[in-house]
Chain A
Amino acid sequence: MALLEVKDLKVRVEEREILHGLTLTVNEGEIHAIMGPNGSGKSTLSHVIAGKPGYEVTDGQILFRGEDLLEMDPEERAAKGVFLAFQYPVEIPGVATMTFLRTALNAQRKARGEDEYSTPDFLRKVREVSKSLNIPQDMLKRGVNVGFSGGEKKRNEVLQMALFEPALCILDEMDSGLDIDALRIAADGVNALRTPKRAIVVITHYQRLLNYIIPDFVHVMSRGRVVKSGDKQLALELEESGYAQFEDAA
């Protein structure tokens, strides 16, 4: 059974159709890149998979391990193993990062009927992961993402991914606002999370990120549909020729 199956998905936002019948299948262990120009519906797809309110699905299905994802609240999807790394992670003043991480992790475990993490186990795990991601400990005491640089916010997303151990990671424009060094640290963090069980969907406008996170499959989106799929070679072609050719195809 596929991990994620998006079938002929049609989505509207405020009366305007953004996705016009999108189909995508992701299996365990695979890395997929979804590329496309601005406005092609890439972020909409990631939001709908994660369950963000404000989108109306008018047709089609999203199945996660065969279960209907669209019937679940965002928190249920998270507990099932769906993780969206936000393009713009929000700042939450007054909620310490550590408190947030522990509350979220234990909420997911509770939803799955697992025991809560003990404090020492939790601390050990956070320390271990944050060290590998070059996240200083004092950052974890601050409010979630408050005063974090763009790179720090993205690393904080990767930290959560490592901690929550989701089955499906969707990285929405992880490279936006990052310089090369910051990008490399974040990408190394993601690569460290590759396992034969875990699938990763990388949403990006530019090919650059795919030099660091090597995809198995590349899909080109245009005007709310996947218009072409291929291997990593397709990303390089796109870098050469741009998206213009697909605008017409859609």
Chain B
Amino acid sequence: MNVAVAKTESGRAVSDLFASAEGRLPGSPAVVAVRREAFETYERLGLPHRRLEEWKYTDLRAMVGEVLPLAVAPDAAALSRAADAVKAHAFEGARKLVLVDGVFTADLSDVKALPAGVSVTTLRETLDKTADLLTTASTDAVISLNAAMATDGVVLSIADGAQPSAPVQIIHVATAPSASAFTRSQVRIGKGARPTIIESFVSAGASAYQVNDAVLVSIGDDADVAHIRLMDDAPDAVNITSQFVTVGANVKLNYFNMTTGGAVSRLQGFITFAGEGSELSVNGVNLLKKTEHGDLTLLVDHAVPNCMSRETFRAVIDDRAHSVFQGRIIVRPDAQKTDGKMMTRALLLSDEAEADNKPELEIFADDVSCGHGATAGALDDSLLFYLRARGLPEKDAQALLIQAFVGEAIEQIADDDLREHVIGVAERWLGRRS
């Protein structure tokens, strides 16, 4: 029998990736066994490709080719660059939790100044005791790879009833070029808690790096949560993130993602309603240029009755960039009175820009209200002319209309300062465009 060794396009054996990293991966012997198994799953599947329905628009095998070796620990110069990047991207007043090249960095974090009701440990510490955080409800190749390779992450806990006086911002900083960072975090939100969680992905001068992140979120009953994710990685970076969110009863979850960086990115969210009476608002913005590829894939699972989900997605696509939205809503047989809607709009700024949109409704209950809509088009010439006739230069007129277009999604962020912060990130993207 012939046993072929799986190899990447560059000829490097896939198993080398794990073998060379294994000594640096934290965890007890039990954890190591779980990692090995996860890596074997990844080895068997390989990077996702277009023949898999869930990945048909984002063919990682073709676009990424191979997974880069694990980043080495940052030196003093890299840490100093990371500190600058943290300063530049921090939301004012937020308590920062910083991961540099996939490793929690206490020196750059506000661990000693956490608001009441907020506690933090790291994945590294947790893995000394248990491998629980390495298992998830569903897996695919990238999630398995993440379980095998995760070096660190934030384990954040918000106590029951806590109303933290400041937002918590998890900042992922890349300093190592041509290397990978694997992170896995957990966010546990107690009953009735009202936290604001921000996640930021930024580069501190690094290029051509890869990020594979996983976040496990559980939200207790009656909580009111704002979760904002800003992916602003280097323009030649890869960012693949999987988020698993379990929503309790009578929860209000306002989730926002904005992608302004990355050559290839995908955020896949798996959101499950586990308790009745909850309301989910998911708002996504992709701002893409050059040959960037940005994919937002959401699975909203209405497993219980009487929940509401709203998905609003806006993509601004310039040059030859490619935006993907896949929205799947499952309404289980018992989930009567489900109200689930998604609306996506794409603004194409060039003839070669591409938007793919795949809504899927799988409805097994009979008393529900579900729907989806999608539009794609260019900037409205009559609006452009109106603004120019009032004195706005063409680029400024375009920028104002683009801001207005994405504003509909950004407006859903309730906090004024945070909304302004997000608008600032979008404006920087617009500035880079012109």
Contacts and interface: CB of A to CB of B under 8 A. Distances in A.
> Per DSSP, are chain B's interface residues mostly helix, strand or loop, or mixed?
helix
Interface stretch (A47-55, A193-201, A203-211, A231-239): A47-55
Contacts of A164: 390-391
Interface stretch (A21-29, A101-109, A126-134, A212-220): A101-109
Contacts of A52: 385, 389
B316 to A, nearest CB: 13
B404 A104 contact: no
Contact of B391 (A89, A92, A94, A107): A107
Contact of A104 (B382, B391, B403): B391
B387 interface: yes
B13 interface: no
A166 to B, nearest CB: 10
Contacts of B381: 53
A151 interface: no
Interface stretch (A62-70, A71-79, A115-123, A221-229): A71-79
Given A75-B394, A95-B401, A107-B396, A90 B383 contact: yes
Contact of B392 (A77, A89, A103, A160): A103
Interface in B369-427: 380-383, 385-394, 396-397, 400-401, 403-405, 407-408
B153 to A, nearest CB: 37
A94 B408 contact: yes
A104 B405 contact: no
Contacts of A89: 386
Contacts of A93: 404, 408
A104 B397 CA distance: 9
A111 interface: yes
Given A92-B404, A94-B404, A95-B400, A108 B391 contact: yes
A86 interface: yes
B383 A79 contact: no
A74 B390 CA distance: 8
Contacts of A99: 400
A175 B114 CA distance: 62
Contacts of A83: 389
A94 B403 contact: yes
B382 A73 contact: no
A84 interface: yes
A78 B401 CA distance: 19
Nearest to A108: B391
A78 B388 contact: yes
Interface string A155-195: 00000100010000000000000000000000000000000
A93 B411 CA distance: 12
Contacts of B387: 92, 100, 104
A240 to B, nearest CB: 36
A198 B381 CA distance: 29
A108 B391 CA distance: 5
Contacts of B391: 75, 78-79, 104-105, 107-108, 111, 164
A111 B396 CA distance: 13
A104 B401 contact: no
Contacts of A77: 389
Given A75-B394, A94-B407, A103 B400 contact: yes
Residue among A89, A93, A94, A107 with most chain B CB within 10 A: A94
A90 B386 contact: yes
Given A90-B383, A95-B401, A73 B392 contact: no
Contact of A95 (B382, B388, B394, B404): B404
B401 A92 contact: yes
A111 B393 CA distance: 9
Nearest to A107: B391
Contacts of A111: 391
A104 B389 CA distance: 9
B388 A73 contact: yes
Nearest to B380: A90
A233 B51 CA distance: 77
A196 B112 CA distance: 70
Given A52-B385, A104-B387, 18 more contacts: A51-B388, A53-B381, A53-B385, A74-B385, A74-B388, A75-B388, A78-B390, A78-B391, A89-B386, A92-B386, A93-B408, A94-B407, A100-B400, A103-B392, A103-B396, A104-B391, A107-B393, A143-B404
Interface of A: 50-53, 73-75, 77-79, 83-84, 86, 89-90, 92-95, 99-100, 103-105, 107-108, 111, 143, 160, 164
29 contacts: A50-B389, A52-B385, A73-B394, A74-B385, A74-B389, A75-B393, A75-B394, A75-B397, A77-B389, A78-B388, A83-B389, A84-B389, A90-B382, A90-B383, A92-B404, A93-B408, A94-B404, A94-B408, A95-B400, A95-B403, A103-B392, A103-B400, A104-B387, A104-B390, A104-B391, A107-B390, A107-B391, A111-B391, A160-B390
**9 interchain residue pairs of minimum CB distance:** A94-B404, A108-B391, A78-B391, A74-B388, A104-B390, A94-B407, A107-B391, A95-B404, A90-B386
